[in-house]
């Protein structure tokens, strides 16, 4: 039975900014993982490749997915529709206020009741 022994010594700790910088350089295609591990004195190319996986996962979480983009687009459309409906409502209220004013003026000028009173019955003529 082979038991893998861990390496002795303090664990390596690297700044997140350094990890991101190395991953960006690797993704640029200018350097290989081995070259970057030597350039920045990192434990090895395997470490750089693990960082690359971590970096890509991090980027995928930060960037909205296509589903999220479609939801955001739908929300924008809903907001646009809501604004249009709000404008129509304001115009309708203004029209009602204008008509109410016209009825008030007509009732005073012609001395007749134009508005139907609630609870009145229609004549049977």
Find, among 46, 41, 44, 45, the residue nearest to 18 by Cα.
41
Give the confidence band of 97 by pLDDT, cuts at 50, 70, 90.
confident
The token pair that represents 125 in the structure block: 């003529």
Q: Is pTM beyond 0.75 here? A: no
Return d(Cα 84, Cα 92) in angstroms, integer.
12
| Residue 1 in this model has a pLDDT that exceeds 70 | no
Is the CB of residue 23 less than 8 Å from the CB of residue 52? yes
Q: Dihedral of the CA atoms 53, 56, 62, 66 (nearest 10)?
A: -120
Give the confidence band of 3 by pLDDT, cuts at 50, 70, 90.
low
Q: Percent of the chain scored above 90 by pLDDT?
A: 19
Residue 58: predicted pLDDT:
84
Sole residue written with tokens 């003529």? 125
**Count of C-beta atoms within a 10 Å radius of residue 51:** 21
| Residue 50 in this model has a pLDDT that exceeds 90 | yes
């Amino acid at each position: 039975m082979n038991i893998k022994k861990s390496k002795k010594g303090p664990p390596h700790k690297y700044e997140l900014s350094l990890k991101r910088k190395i991953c960006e350089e690797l993704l640029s295609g200018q350097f290989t993982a081995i070259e970057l591990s030597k350039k920045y004195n990192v434990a090895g190319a395997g470490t750089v490749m693990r960082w690359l996986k971590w970096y890509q996962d991090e980027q995928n979480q930060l960037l909205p997915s296509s589903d999220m983009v479609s939801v955001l687009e739908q929300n924008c459309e809903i907001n646009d529709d809501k604004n249009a409906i709000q404008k129509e409502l304001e115009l309708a209220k203004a029209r009602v206020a204008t008509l109410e004013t016209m009825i008030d003026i007509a009732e005073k000028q012609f001395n007749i009741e134009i508005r139907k009173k609630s609870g009145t019955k229609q004549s049977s003529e």
